[in-house]
């Protein structure tokens, strides 16, 4: 367990010519690559630096790390999680001040490209930062055959239904939330006050239709995700969603490169969806914490319905906080590239080459048959990250208000004419082909 006295000092690990490159951000944290001209200290090797944003609601990193080590890590197997260790930032020495100002400069340099609702947010005044395994796609991957990896990230949220959902729900918690988000966006675009009761019979149907078409529908049904191991149709739906590179306004699914249907990387992903046990472990952990008293260690037992709506504001709700923590994580998948030397080296270009435009790649693809994939020991590398303790005391009222809206405004239960997607719960057995 990290104690403040054993936590290394980042300033001492960095060479004098250090700098930072912005890698990504979420609502609560910013992630940087550490740039140095010389060989990094072994502690920094293949690591990214994660720092909290200035945001009152987040818990401090010492607390977050202690929780991750004591409550989250024991639920998983070795290799399941993106490893994280704390480093000391402090704010006393000139070098420590330089660290903060260079991070901030790296953020400012990408300001116009940041997600709209994240613009203006800054690095927090924090004593600690985190070193996390760098999950970005490697330029080439020797173990996987030398080709370009693809990084795919998605949030495996709510793998089982919310305990607060109505018994007649036709949507899982994830699809219900996505529909609410879609509904709110549509209302905003139409510049009308949100009135769900009227939203299916609008006065101006044409305007509504056009606006609907313009909105992206990036729905990953997480029940389908879990069913991907046993149901081909569910797997196909998930594959089509995960491999769609079309830009979305949110980061629920992100892909470094397109994955063409039937390509070797597509087949590797399909094989991972079918055979992985990571999502099952995550689902069990999410579910067990909905009602720990009534479930045994394998998640079996009588289930009492008790989600955030039965939790009391002002009281400790440790199981709910853990369940919510386990629902808001990111799954990183590193998918090995096609066999052979990286296309860049053959083309002599300076940036990642598009697989589709490369004749050699097409030949490589043709040579890599389904059987090749089966026989190779090439594996998708999958890890869960961003398992930060939720500040339940500060968030419970928001969770409850959201759950109430989902229930009261019919997002779980109301049928949608001409629905652009259907949730796994809405489909009948006849719709599906079990393996
Ligand atoms: O409320 P949700 O289900 O939309 O989840 C929030 C996430 O939205 P998402 O649906 O993943 O785009 C949201 O993600 P984004 O900001 O949308 O990237 C946060 O992760 C938020 O957690 P926190 O406020 O940082 O502790 C998440 O809030 P929690 O509900 O996990 O507290
Ligand atoms: N270990 C990693 N390797 C590669 N990229 C990463 C890593 N960790 C984070 N990122 C990138 O940075 C983004 C934001 O990171 P992270 O999920 O930790 O932020 P957050 O504020 O906790 O997010 P949220 O809004 O979901 O709470 C990720 O979506 C991902 O693109």
Give me the interface pTM, i.e. the ipTM: 0.96
**Ligand 2 center from residue 386 Cα (angstroms):** 6
**Ligand 1 center from residue 25 Cα (angstroms):** 12
Burial of 9 (0-12, 13-18, 19+ CB in 10 A): middle
Residue with tokens 């947010």: 121
Does ligand 1 come within 6 angstroms of the Cβ of 395? yes
Sheet of 253-255: strands edge to edge? 253-255, 150-154, 330-335, 381-385
Does ligand 1 come within 6 angstroms of the Cβ of 391? no
pLDDT (0 to 100) of residue 36: 94
pLDDT (0 to 100) of residue 153: 92
Contact assessment for residue 124 and residue 130, using Cβ atoms and an 8 Å cutoff? no
**Ligand 2 center from residue 144 Cα (angstroms):** 24
Domains of the chain: 4-133 (3.30.200), 150-431 (no CATH)
Closest to 135 measured CA to CA, from 155, 149, 115: 149
pLDDT (0 to 100) of residue 339: 63
Does ligand 1 come within 6 angstroms of the Cβ of 383? no
* Proximal ligand: closest to the CA of 220: 1
300/341 Cα distance (integer angstroms): 49
**φ, ψ for residue 117, nearest 5 deg:** -75, -5
pLDDT (0 to 100) of residue 343: 46
Does ligand 1 come within 6 angstroms of the Cβ of 28? yes
Per-residue pLDDT in tens (0 to 9) along the chain, 435 residues: 556 678 999 999 999 899 999 999 998 999 999 999 989 999 999 999 999 999 767 789 999 999 999 999 999 999 999 999 999 987 667 888 899 999 999 999 999 999 989 999 999 888 899 999 999 987 655 554 556 788 999 999 999 999 999 999 999 999 999 889 888 888 887 775 555 555 545 456 666 666 666 555 668 899 999 999 999 999 999 998 898 766 554 446 777 777 888 888 999 999 999 999 999 999 999 988 876 454 444 555 554 546 899 888 888 889 999 999 999 999 999 998 876 554 443 333 233 333 333 444 444 444 455 555 554 667 899 999 999 999 999 999 999 999 999 999 999 999 876 666 789 998 876 666 544
Give Cα 176 to chain centroid, integer Å: 18
123/341 Cα distance (integer angstroms): 40
pLDDT (0 to 100) of residue 209: 66
**Which one-letter DSSP state was computed for residue 277?**
S
**φ, ψ for residue 254, nearest 5 deg:** -135, 145
Among 23, 33, 387, name the best residue to mutate to test ligand 2's pocket (greatest count of ligand atoms within 8 A of Cβ).
23
| Tokens representing residue 40 in the block | 């990094």
Q: Atom 3 of ligand 2 has which residue's CA nearest to it?
A: 135
Contact assessment for residue 278 and residue 382, using Cβ atoms and an 8 Å cutoff? yes
| Tokens representing residue 349 in the block | 């270009």
**Ligand 2 center from residue 330 Cα (angstroms):** 7
**Ligand 2 center from residue 219 Cα (angstroms):** 20
CA atoms within 13 A on the CB side of 201: 2
Closest to 19 measured CA to CA, from 152, 140, 109, 127: 109
**φ, ψ for residue 153, nearest 5 deg:** -130, 140
**Ligand 1 center from residue 328 Cα (angstroms):** 7
Query: What is the atom index within ligand 2 of the atom nearest the CA of 53?
Result: 21
């Amino acid at each position: 367990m990290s104690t403040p006295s054993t936590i290394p000092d980042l300033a001492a690990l960095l060479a004098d010519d250090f700098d930072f490159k912005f890698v990504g951000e979420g609502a609560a944290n910013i992630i940087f690559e550490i740039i140095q001209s010389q060989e990094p200290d072994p502690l920094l090797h293949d690591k990214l630096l994660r720092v909290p944003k200035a945001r009152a609601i987040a818990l401090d990193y010492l607390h977050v790390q202690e929780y991750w080590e004591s409550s989250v890590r024991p639920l998983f197997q070795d290799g399941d999680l993106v490893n994280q260790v704390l480093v000391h930032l402090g704010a006393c020495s000139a070098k420590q001040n330089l660290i903060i100002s260079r991070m901030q400069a790296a953020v400012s340099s990408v300001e116009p490209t940041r997600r709209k609702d994240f613009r203006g947010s800054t690095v927090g005044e924090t004593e600690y930062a985190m070193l996390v395994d760098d999950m970005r796609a490697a330029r080439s991957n020797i173990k996987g055959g030398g080709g370009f990896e693809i990084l795919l990230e998605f949030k495996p949220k709510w793998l089982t239904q919310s305990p607060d959902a109505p018994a007649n729900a036709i949507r899982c918690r994830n699809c219900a939330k996505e529909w609410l988000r879609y509904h709110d966006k549509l209302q905003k675009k139409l510049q009308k006050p949100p009135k769900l009761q009227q939203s299916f019979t609008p006065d101006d149907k044409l305007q509504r239709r056009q606006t609907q078409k313009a909105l992206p529908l990036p729905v990953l049904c997480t029940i389908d995700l879990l069913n991907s191991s046993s149901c081909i149709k569910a797997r196909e739906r998930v594959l089509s969603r995960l491999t769609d590179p079309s830009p979305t306004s949110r980061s629920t699914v992100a892909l470094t490169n397109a994955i063409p249907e039937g390509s070797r990387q597509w087949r590797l992903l399909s094989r991972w969806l079918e055979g992985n046990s990571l999502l099952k472990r995550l689902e069990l952990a999410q579910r067990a914490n909905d009602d720990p008293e009534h479930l045994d260690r394998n998640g079996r037992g009588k289930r009492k319905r008790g989600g955030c709506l039965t939790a009391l504001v002002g009281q400790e709700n440790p199981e709910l906080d853990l369940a919510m923590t386990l629902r808001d994580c990111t799954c990183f998948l590193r998918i090995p590239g096609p066999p052979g030397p990286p296309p860049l080296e053959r083309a002599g270009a300076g940036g990642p080459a598009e697989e589709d435009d490369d004749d050699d790649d097409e030949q490589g693809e043709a040579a890599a048959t389904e059987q090749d994939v089966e026989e190779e020991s090439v594996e998708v590398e999958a890890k869960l990250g961003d398992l930060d303790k939720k500040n339940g005391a500060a968030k419970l009222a928001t969770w409850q208000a959201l759950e109430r809206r989902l229930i009261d405004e019919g997002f779980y239960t109301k049928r949608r004419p001409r629905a652009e997607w259907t949730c796994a719960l809405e489909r009948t057995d006849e719709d599906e082909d079990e393996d």
